Amino acid sequence: MINQLYGKEFDTYSETQKKFIKNNLGTIHRITQRTLTRNGYPDVAVRTRQQGTNIVSFYLHPNGDISDLKLKRHIGHQALDQNTLDVIRIAYKDYPLPNKKTKIVFYVRYSIY
């Protein structure tokens, strides 16, 4: 999954950054999904049966801040795209902290069963 998300850019990262990503990306994803579940599916998205997958990226800093939050892949439904950014702005406070500024990239999936 790391290769799909980061591509060749991953090879340019320091060993510290690579290790952090390998050891913590799953945890960061789980924290985000837990926050997404807690916040609920956007009402308009439920009514119109919107679903899809975003790819989100941002820099996570050693002090716990994030910067350059953006969607690398949009779903194309404003409610879901905006919800992804809103969820990250809440969830990042619980993320493990890197020793060095590290780029984080992962999927955020929305699915109506």
Task: Strand 66-73: give its sheet, edge to edge.
Answer: 66-73, 52-60, 102-110
pLDDT for the residue numbered 112: 81
Closest CA to 36 of 106, 98, 102, 103: 106
Split at pLDDT 50, 70, 90, the class of 55 is very high
How much of the chain exceeds pLDDT 70, in percent? Answer: 100
Average pLDDT score over residue span 46-66: 95
CA pair distance 86, 78, nearest whole angstrom: 12
Q: How many CB atoms are located within 10 Å of the residue 27 CB?
A: 12
The domain that holds 12 is classified in CATH as 3.30.2420.10
Predicted TM-score (pTM) of the model is: 0.93
Residue 113 has pLDDT above 80, yes or no: no
For the chain, the domain total comes to 1
Residue 108: which H helix or E strand, with range?
strand 102-110
Per the structure, the complete domain to which residue 29 belongs is given by 2-110
Split at pLDDT 50, 70, 90, the class of 1 is confident
Task: Report the relative pairing of strands 52-60 and 66-73 from DSSP bridges.
Answer: antiparallel
Residue indicated by tokens 């510290």:
16
For residue range 70-85, what is the model confidence (pLDDT) as tens digits?
999 999 999 999 999 9
Cα distances (Å, whole numbers) of residue 33 to 11, 17, 37, 63: 27, 23, 6, 22
Backbone φ and ψ for 49, nearest 5 degrees, come out as: 55, 45
